[in-house]
Amino acid sequence: MDSDLRIVVVDKNPMRAAIIEDGLREAGHKIVIRIEDTAGLDDKLRALEADVVLMDLESPSRDVLEQMFAVSSASNRPVAMFVDQSDRAMTNAAIDAGVSAYIVDGLRKERVKSIVDMAISRFNAFAKLRDELDAARSQLADRKAIDRAKALVMKAKSIGEEQAYVLMRKAAMNENKKVADIARAIITAAELLK
């Protein structure tokens, strides 16, 4: 456990926030900051350099969940939300908003540590999946650009696919660039010359 995490507790109710704060301090977390007002929350979290956000809401509204979506996606940090009551739509909206842990009627200080740990683990697992997805999309886009550029080179030079790729690879090596960058340059040039 990283006791130096900057954990921000967002709650208007001081008694409810105290339960979370006590649970965090008992778990060894030293940097716990409470925010009462959710207005401008993203700016506040950025200014505080929050590592983890814990929100305690009696019953989250659609507006609050939309704000959490903005906070979660823009700030790229684990968010755990405690609510007193919920329904399937609210649970799904919280998940869609990127909330790492959505705890219904489970606000007890002895559970706070495990909830924070789980929120961080889940956030890290999804971040890894997101990075892998981004890498796969990038590779697919590169592959498409290379295939399209090969077709243009093959047509322009009346050569085969392998020879076109060899020319592109040689150009990439000579210019110290990736083959995909050369492919995109070929595509751009071909579009200009139409």
Question: Looking at the DSSP assignment, which residues form a beta bridge with residue 79?
Answer: 53
Query: In this structure, is the dihedral angle defined by the CA atoms of residues 128, 124, 50 and 61, taken in order, positive or negative?
Result: positive
Residues 67 and 29 in one domain: yes
Task: Indicate whether 92 and 150 sit together in one domain.
Answer: no
Does any domain span residue 30?
A: yes
Q: Are residues 104 and 143 in the same domain?
A: no
Domain count across the chain: 2
Q: What is the C-alpha separation between 149 and 157, in angstroms, rounded?
A: 12
13 and 103 in a single domain? The answer is yes
Residue 1 lies in a domain: no
Query: Do 181 and 161 share a structural domain?
Result: yes
Which CATH number covers residue 178?
A: 1.10.10.10
Place of tokens 């040039």: 189
Each of the 194 residues of the chain gets a pLDDT tens digit; together they read 466 888 888 888 888 888 888 888 888 888 888 988 777 777 888 888 888 888 876 656 666 666 666 666 666 788 888 777 777 877 777 777 777 887 777 677 788 888 888 888 888 898 899 899 999 999 999 999 999 999 999 999 999 999 999 999 999 999 999 999 999 999 999 999 88
Pair (66, 14) in one structural domain: yes
